[in-house]
Amino acid sequence: MTYSHVERANDLEPSDGHRILREECPLHHEENFDPPFYVVSKHDDVLKILKSPELWGNSDGPGVFYQRGGVLGSTDDPDHARQRRVLREVFLPSRMRLLEKKLETICNDLWKTFEKPGEGDFVKIFAFPFPALAIAEILGVDPNDREKFHKWADDIVAGLGGGDLKLVDKANQELWEYIDDLVETRLILMDQGDQLPEDAISTMTIAFSKGDLSRREIQRLGHQLLVAGHETTASLLALMVYRLSSQPELLTSLKNNPKLIEPAVEEFLRFDSPVQGLFRTNSKACPVRDSVIPAGTKLQAMFASANRDPEIWNDPDSIRFDRDPKLARQHLAFGWGVHYCIGAPLARLEARLALKKIVTSNTTLEVLEDPPTTPPFILRGFTELRIKWN
Ligand code: HEM
């Protein structure tokens, strides 16, 4: 068929395109793309793929192009499991509790702009810096280097959408070197018998000293945390503001009952999943629905479409904060299975803090125009969100 999923993916409301996929071509072959690839869009099919990592692997990269030699999201077991065992510690609930106060301070500082009436771009003022600064905090970036780090984060993320590739290369190189310097500092502390700061670089440096990670892997893992955790979370924050502004009754219900903030974060993740769908590649020929897919084929598992599948969700195209909590958390916005988003606890914490600020502050945010969407078809978010506040 001639339907182009890639062309529809950046619609302001991509869910219409997802519905066509689910109803008319649940196993869609996207022929007008190089390389051509398959797409599954129904909840059941997406889950089946995610639950078969031995067949549908990540070592050709989670994107549409074949890329080898990565870490974590771009690799399979046993390397994936080894790297994940180390990083899991960084996102434990006890670490999140320690982080909460610091992130609240960052959130409050960024919010100061909205304390006097004005107009501007919510993405630039709040949605982009907050996750970048949160990742800087979790990694262990020195507060004096935050600006530098924020700039690398911006340049690298801009590259995902076709930004200046020279800037991306420069930022990648500088970030890798910076991470390696942080490792060096911690190795010196260890040699001296001093205590290490409680951050991701320390956790990874200890793993290096035990032979569980290489220094190159640490550089790549630090980089992946930034790339995977920055734009995704920024998109969630901007999408929440967009929805709350266009459906003010949602904001009223949160103001009346702030206990709904947590379920609301889950519902926004389901309704407006910032990662529309990532790729797997099959190690051997295998059946999917009524076709046999040859080995080495890229297939996109559409999390966002699965999250609107009426076979799973009652009233899927409405934002409802009263869903059964067990079902509500079964959305696939963070994927599922062995590659389930390792940063989900951090993303949830940031979203909860931001939403609490929006709900409890006296500022009203109003979206002024339809926002432009982010270019990569695997993602969903806004490059800009013009708002007025008072
Ligand atoms: C709203 C924000 C976020 C969304 C929607 C999101 C979504 C996702 C998704 C869909 C996956 C792939 C799951 C799969 O392929 O099965 C993933 C993986 C990953 N995410 Fe997130 N993510 C978010 C925030 C973060 C944050 C804050 C971090 C870290 C700072 C992070 C780090 C990662 C990493 C490292 C992986 C690869 C995990 C693996 O392959 O084992 N993400 N995320």
**What is the average pLDDT value for the chain, to the nearest integer?**
94
Q: What is the mean pLDDT of residues 159-163?
A: 62
Contacts of 339 (CB under 8 A, 6+ apart): 50, 53, 58, 62, 73, 80
Q: Is the CB of 222 under 6 A from ligand 1?
A: no
206-228 burial string, b = 16+ CB within 10 Å, else e?
A: bbbeeeebebebbbbbbbbbbbb
What's the CATH number for 5-62+76-135+228-372+381-389? 1.10.630.10
Which of 61-70, 117-126, 130-139, 316-325 is the least confident region? Answer: 61-70
Output the CA 109–ligand 1 centroid distance in Å. 26
Average pLDDT over every residue of 11-39? 93
Q: pLDDT tens digits for 243-287? A: 999 999 999 999 999 999 999 999 999 999 999 999 999 999 999
- Residue 284 carries which DSSP code? S
How many whole angstroms from 193 Cα to the centroid of ligand 1? 34
Q: Which of 85, 141, 334 to mutate to test the pocket of ligand 1 (most atoms within 8 A of CB)?
A: 334
Q: Is 339 in the pocket of ligand 1 (CB under 6 A)?
A: yes
Tell me, what's the pLDDT at 160?
Answer: 63
Average of per-residue pLDDT across 186-199 = 96
Give the strand pairing for 37-40 and 298-301. parallel
| Contact 346 CB / ligand 1 (< 6 Å) | yes
Characterize 230-266 residue by residue with b for buried, 16 or more Cβ atoms within 10 angstroms of its Cβ, and e for exposed: bbbbbbbbbbbbbbbbeeeebbebbeeeeebbbbbbb
Q: Which amino acid is at 352?
A: R
% of the chain exceeding 90 in pLDDT: 84
Mean pLDDT of 113-137: 96
* pLDDT tens digits, one per residue of 320-379: 999 998 888 889 999 999 999 999 999 999 999 999 999 999 999 999 999 999 888 899
- For residues 319 and 296, what is the distance between their CA atoms, to the nearest angstrom? 38
pLDDT value at residue 161? 58
Share of the chain above pLDDT 70, in %: 98
**H or E element at residue 43:** helix 43-50
In this prediction the pTM is 0.96
Ligand 1 center from residue 38 Cα (angstroms): 22
**Structural domain boundaries in the chain:** 5-62+76-135+228-372+381-389
Q: Quickly state the pLDDT bin for 162 (edges 50, 70, 90).
A: low
Ligand 1 geometric centre to CA of 236 (Å): 13
Distance from the CA of 169 to the center of ligand 1, in angstroms?
Answer: 22
- Greater confidence (329 vs 157) lies with 329
Could you tell me if the CB of 228 is within 6 A of ligand 1? Answer: yes
CA distance 265 to 351: 7
CA 333 – ligand 1 centroid, Å: 9
Instruction: For residue range 80-109, list pLDDT tens digits in order.
Output: 999 999 999 999 999 999 999 999 999 999
> Distance between CA 22 and CA 11 in Å, rounded?
17
Q: Could you tell me the distance, in angstroms and rounded to a whole number, from the CA of residue 233 to the centre of ligand 1?
A: 9
> Cα-flanking dihedrals φ and ψ of residue 359, to 5°?
-75, -40
Nearest CA to ligand 1 atom 27: 229
Predicted pLDDT of residue 115: 94
Closest-lying ligand 1 atom to the alpha carbon of residue 138: 30
Q: Which residues contact 262 (CB under 8 A, 6 or more apart)?
A: 352
For the cut 90, the answer to whether the pLDDT of residue 303 exceeds it is: yes
The C-alpha atoms of residue 103 and residue 126 are separated, in whole angstroms, by: 13
Long-range contacts of 70-73 (CB under 8 A, 24+ apart): 70/220, 70/224, 71/217, 71/220, 71/221, 71/224, 72/221, 72/224, 72/342, 73/224, 73/228, 73/278, 73/339
Provide the pLDDT for residue 69.
Answer: 85
Residue 264 amino acid letter: A
